[in-house]
Structure 1
Amino acid sequence: MALFACAAPQGAVPPSPHADAASSARPITLAHFDHLFAEANVGGERVGVVNIYSTAPDFAFAIEPREGYACVDDVARAIVLLAAEPQPDARRLRQIELMTRFVVRMQAENGYFHNFIWAGGRINREYRTSLSELNWWSLRALWGLEAALLRLPEGSQTAARARAAANRVVGNLKRDLPVDRRGLETVEGVQVPTWLPFGAGGDAASTAILGLVPHYQRTRDAGTRALVERLGDGLVQMQAGDARTFPHGAHLSWRNQWHGWGNAQAYALLRAGAALNRRDFTASALREVDLFYPHLLKHGMLSSFALRAKDGRIETSEVQRFPQIAYGISPMVLAATEAYRQTGQARYRDTARRLGAWLSGANDAGRPVYDPASGRVYDGINGPGSMNPDSGAESTIEGLFVLRALDGVPLP
């Protein structure tokens, strides 16, 4: 079910002469991913990692001085990417196994995960973005582990370790996100739930659901199902606007704010709705795809905004158009392709194609963000006519998510 036939959306910046925006056969190469992939030793064990930063023009690697050079957040994404391949070959299966070993190695005694490693394989246990806590990297680790279990030999030691690590972090989530928690708070006049990660983190909750749904499908654990439903209830509560009122059904990311990166609420609700037969989740997700995405395609992509209620009306503030990154496009394409998969309605396929055209040049820079010859996905658009020429792990993997989805390949 190939979906990619990238006609540029009406009103979008026309692609450059080199952008293949009308191609119906979109080549996908993992050459740059393989450039980013490396083997390392962590805790005396051979593991697989993905270099975070790759800087133009020679795409050499870099180390963030407070964090390190590789992280669970990107390695877990990479596992999902490779596990999505319909028939991964021996090389890809080996990469999945090595990266699974890395994620398992990064699990701390408390059941959550450290995120970064330094050169030499030393785990960064001190910096705030590498603490073992309920945070993005621990939630992404769960998604990656569950994806790996679809490809690892069931009786292997690595699979057993992955199952134990996934089960342990789910136990933490049941404890730290109790399903009986209730409550709303008002932020700038906007009511938001208090039982999601970070209080009102719809974005983080969507990542949690993407790991919890396959965990439930694997274990049929009633507690996991209850947690997915409670998080889904919170995401529905975070939806704002309607056909006439901005933001036209978008699910807010955190408190009264929306940002493009990681805004996978609609995609997560579609996955949860199908797995749990929750039609309200599905309906909420489709409202965002039906209303908000066409608005962006018509009026231009956004990076972030905030809402506030004043005098009985919802006002928009702090609107930012840039930067635009693959991590902001991929959640929308994943949601639109999943909507097409579940409903068979052509308008969702067309929405996905139009959103995906951002990669091939239908964007504010007027330049392709994906290079099919090298497999690089560049690190985003800084402003009109301006593109970041670097190509790091997050952009590369999220861009490849888009291409896989448009090729009709679902993520695990």
Structure 2
Amino acid sequence: MKLLNTLVCIIGLTSFSSSAKLVNAEHLDALYQKVTVANKTELGLIHIYSEFPDYRWVKDPIEGVSAIDDVARAAIFYQRQYQATGSAADLEKVKSLVEFILYQRADNGYFYNFIYPDHSINKEYKTSVAEPNWWTWRALWALTQVYPTLVKTDNALAQRTRETIFATIDVIYKDFNFKQTRGEKEGVAVPEWLPHTAGDQASVLLM
């Protein structure tokens, strides 16, 4: 009986389709939108909010409709799903989401976070300014994760991605103190060399 059960499991695994998805991405797919901006570039957005019962997209009046915080993580998800399934639709999402990240890069080498409904960049609100913060780390994380796939599928986009990765790393090295000095905040020793003295932000950079 044990042998029979084992054979059934083996047959089931070998017949499992390589294109099958292991995660239900329907909600994430529903948040995805492709838009064309003024320079004719097609960007992939991940809408930040949707409301029950029809889950229509909802904008934030101050922040915008989409942000690197979400786009970066979605790009990584679709890249990993593409590796598993070979889906052309997943690859297209990866490329358009990367275009969004590159579009949000500021002249100072960091990234703006949010985009408005009219596709203009939110450059002023505190959670969107181009600075060494969560969204820049996530942008860099996503670009480094998807780069190997782009090298194999879109050489031009891969080259732009590579240039952005190294330019961002250069800015980080220029602006941060990596001598591992310590400071004090409210009587507690804090690591001054970490971004915002925060281990959680530094962990994204390590990835």
| TM-score relative to the length of structure 1 | 0.43
- 1:169 corresponding residue in structure 2: 168
- 1:113 corresponding residue in structure 2: 111
**Deviation for aligned residue 1:49:** 1.0
Query: 1: distance between equivalents of 2:96 and 2:22?
Result: 26
**Deviation for aligned residue 1:186:** 5.1
Report 1:115-154 matches (<5 A): 115-154=113-152
Question: Residue 27 and residue 99 in structure 1: after superposition, are their counterparts in 2 closer, same or farther (change >3 A)?
Answer: closer
Contact 1:93-1:152 at 8 Å conserved across structures: no
Deviations 1:104-136 (A, max 9, x none): 111011110011111121111111111111011
**Deviation for aligned residue 1:180:** 2.3
- 1:78 corresponding residue in structure 2: 74
- 2:184 corresponding residue in structure 1: 185
**Deviation for aligned residue 1:40:** 1.1
- 2:205 corresponding residue in structure 1: 208
Number of equivalent positions? 183
Deviations 1:53-100 (A, max 9, x none): 011121111111111000111100111111222333111011101111
Tell me, what secondary structure is at the counterpart of 1:78?
helix
Tell me, what secondary structure is at the counterpart of 1:180?
coil
Query: 2: distance between equivalents of 1:98 and 1:27?
Result: 23
**Deviation for aligned residue 1:41:** 2.1
**Which residue among 56, 63, 66 is the counterpart of 1:67?**
63
Question: Residue 208 and residue 43 in structure 1: after superposition, are their counterparts in 2 closer, same or farther (change >3 A)?
Answer: farther
**Deviation for aligned residue 1:178:** 2.7
- 2:15 corresponding residue in structure 1: none
Deviations 1:224-246 (A, max 9, x none): xxxxxxxxxxxxxxxxxxxxxxx
Contact 1:41-1:120 at 8 Å conserved across structures: no
RMSD, aligned α-carbons: 1.7
Query: 1: distance between equivalents of 2:202 and 2:110?
Result: 16
Tell me, what secondary structure is at the counterpart of 1:152?
helix
**Deviation for aligned residue 1:147:** 1.3
- 2:194 corresponding residue in structure 1: 196
Contact 2:180-2:191 at 8 Å conserved across structures: no
Residue 158 (1) aligns with residue 154 (2): no
- 1:38 corresponding residue in structure 2: 33
Contact 1:42-1:105 at 8 Å conserved across structures: no
Structure 2, unmatched stretches of 5+, are 1-20
Structure having the higher helix fraction is 2
**Deviation for aligned residue 1:181:** 4.6
Contact 2:66-2:116 at 8 Å conserved across structures: yes
Relative contact order, CA 8 A, sep 6+: which one is greater? 1
Of 43-52 and 110-119, more deviation after overlay is shown by 43-52
Query: 2: distance between equivalents of 1:161 and 1:40?
Result: 20
